[in-house]
A = this chain, B = another copy of it.
Amino acid sequence: MSTLGFIEYEKASPEVRAVYDDIMATRKTDKVTNFWKALAHDPVRLKRTWEDTKQIMGAGALDPMVKELIYVAVSVTNQCDYCIAAHTVSARKKGMTDQIFKELMSVIGLANENNRLVAGYQVEIDEQYKAEG
Q: A122-B3, A124-B2 are in contact. Are A83 and B111 (CB under 8 A)?
A: yes
Number of chain A residues close to chain B: CB under 8 A = 82
Q: A74-B77, A79-B79, A116-B77 are in contact. Are A126 and B33 (CB under 8 A)?
A: yes
Q: Which residue of B lies closest to A32 (CB)?
A: B126
**Do B108 and A120 touch (CB < 8 A)?**
yes
**Do A60 and B126 touch (CB < 8 A)?**
no
Query: How far does the Cβ of A15 sit from chain B's closest Cβ, in whole Å?
Result: 15
A contact face: mostly helix, strand, loop, or mixed: helix
Q: A31-B128, A133-B3 are in contact. Are A106 and B42 (CB under 8 A)?
A: yes
Q: Which listed residue (B38, B56, B89, B113) contacts A112, Cβ 8 A?
A: B113
**Do B107 and A117 touch (CB < 8 A)?**
no
Query: How far does the Cβ of A63 sit from chain B's closest Cβ, in whole Å?
Result: 10
Q: What are the residues of chain B within 8 A of A69 when measuring CB–CB?
A: 62, 66, 70
